[in-house]
């Protein structure tokens, strides 16, 4: 089921975007993987009793809007490590990040951390300050794992702990990981992290381990962004895309040429073509499945991204541009 949170105070533009979503019937590629309906005892004519609304695509292809409290919350079937290697049939998942919309709200980081039981300093999604050259203005760049079609991490892994699925997703099975860190050193995007010491959260037995959730992690193993395949199996967007308040992150299926940020649903090929989409470090030949839309006609001033956390200013305190912002009293 496709899940999109809708507040009652949506403006006219958002309403137009929702109508486009309904008209096109998009994201069928993602919703089809859910298999079983997640709604229970629902009708489109029920009187609203909840402030939060959820839009769901039923198995017979109909879109319905329901109260969030009526959604069946039963857990999805556990995907074992062996099953996680198969991938979701007939899908080619892809992410598009619109840099013009990003203001470093960091909700994508926080949503990912909560879902994957990460500590404050552990980030699968990193939002970095980038300046392409001294004459250009810096911008914020969200950077997950790029789930490459030619992933060097998979090539160097001696145990098969890191593997590439047919649906474009690259995962880590920490049951097979021996902690050699070959994948860490081979990744040109610095997308991987190593668990150096033991933490109490590694003993969590509330759910069985699966590479599709990366929880619980284990000492002496590698972890990274996983594109949230457990969410995809439910027809939901990854946690980072769901959490972003600005609609920066689009996600969808290349096979059906569809991506959505939850409010707006578009053709992937048209979005990349019309907006000049590109892939980070294209010249390396890794063929990432994360695309970027250039940071042109930005919606927010850069300095707004420093207001969310004092640690952000500390990270970039030696950057001349940031030093000038502080001198001018903008941060």
Whether the predicted pLDDT of 129 surpasses 60: yes
Mean predicted confidence (pLDDT) in 13-31:
38
Choose the most confident range, by mean pLDDT, from 10-14, 26-30, 293-297. Answer: 293-297
CA distance 235 to 322: 41
Mean predicted confidence (pLDDT) in 263-284:
97
Q: What is the pTM of this model?
A: 0.78
Q: Which CATH number fits domain 83-293: 3.30.70.20, 3.30.460.10, 3.20.20.60, 3.90.550.10?
A: 3.30.70.20
Whether the predicted pLDDT of 28 surpasses 70: no
3-state SS, residue 114 = helix
| Neighbour tally for 324: CB within 10 Å | 11
Under the banding of pLDDT at 50, 70 and 90, the label for residue 67 is confident
pLDDT at position 207 is 84
Whether the predicted pLDDT of 46 surpasses 50: no
Cα-Cα-Cα-Cα dihedral sign, residues 12, 15, 20, 21: positive
| Neighbour tally for 178: CB within 10 Å | 14
Under the banding of pLDDT at 50, 70 and 90, the label for residue 308 is confident
DSSP 127-179: EEEE-SSTTSPPEEEEE-----SS-HHHHH-SSS-EEE-TTS-EEE-TTT---
Mean predicted confidence (pLDDT) in 190-219:
94
CA distance 269 to 281: 20
pLDDT at position 16 is 42
Query: Could you read off the pLDDT of 133-166 as tens digits, one per residue?
Result: 989 999 999 999 999 999 999 999 999 999 999 9
Q: Structural domain boundaries of the chain?
A: 83-293
3-state SS, residue 303 = helix
Q: Is 106 exposed, middle or buried (0-12, 13-18, 19+ CB in 10 A)?
A: buried
CA distance 224 to 161: 13
Measured at the CA of 269, the angle between CA 264 and CA 270, to 5 degrees, comes to 60
CA distance 42 to 149: 41
pLDDT at position 55 is 75
């Amino acid at each position: 089921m496709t899940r999109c949170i809708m507040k009652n105070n949506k403006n006219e533009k958002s309403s137009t975007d929702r109508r486009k979503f309904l008209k096109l019937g998009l994201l069928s590629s993602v919703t089809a993987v859910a298999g079983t309906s997640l709604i229970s005892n629902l009708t489109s004519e029920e009187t609203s009793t909840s402030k939060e609304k959820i839009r769901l695509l039923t198995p017979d292809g109909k879109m319905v809007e329901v109260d969030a409290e009526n959604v069946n919350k039963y857990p999805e079937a556990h995907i074992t490590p062996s099953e996680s290697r198969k991938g979701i049939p007939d899908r080619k998942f892809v992410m598009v990040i619109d840099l013009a919309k990003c203001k470093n709200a960091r909700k994508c980081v926080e949503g990912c951390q909560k879902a994957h039981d990460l500590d404050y300093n552990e980030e699968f999604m990193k939002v970095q300050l980038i300046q392409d050259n001294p004459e250009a203005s810096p911008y914020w760049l969200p950077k997950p794992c790029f789930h490459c079609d030619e992933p060097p991490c998979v090539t160097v892994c001696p145990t098969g702990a890191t593997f590439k699925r047919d649906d474009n997703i690259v995962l880590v099975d920490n049951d097979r990981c021996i902690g050699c860190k070959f994948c860490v050193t081979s990744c040109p995007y610095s997308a991987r992290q190593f668990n150096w010491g033991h933490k109490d959260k590694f003993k969590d037995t509330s759910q069985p381990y699966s590479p599709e959730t990366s929880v619980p992690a284990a000492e002496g193993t590698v972890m990274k962004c996983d594109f949230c395949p457990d969410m995809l199996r439910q027809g939901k967007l990854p946690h980072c895309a769901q959490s972003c308040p600005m609609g920066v992150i689009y996600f969808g299926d290349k096979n059906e040429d569809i991506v959505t940020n939850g409010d707006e649903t578009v053709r992937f090929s048209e979005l990349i073509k019309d907006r000049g989409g590109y892939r980070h470090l294209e010249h390396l030949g890794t063929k990432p499945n994360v695309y970027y839309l250039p940071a042109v006609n930005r919606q927010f001033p850069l300095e707004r991204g420093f207001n969310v956390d004092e640690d952000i200013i500390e990270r970039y305190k030696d950057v001349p541009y940031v030093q000038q912002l502080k001198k001018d009293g903008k941060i």
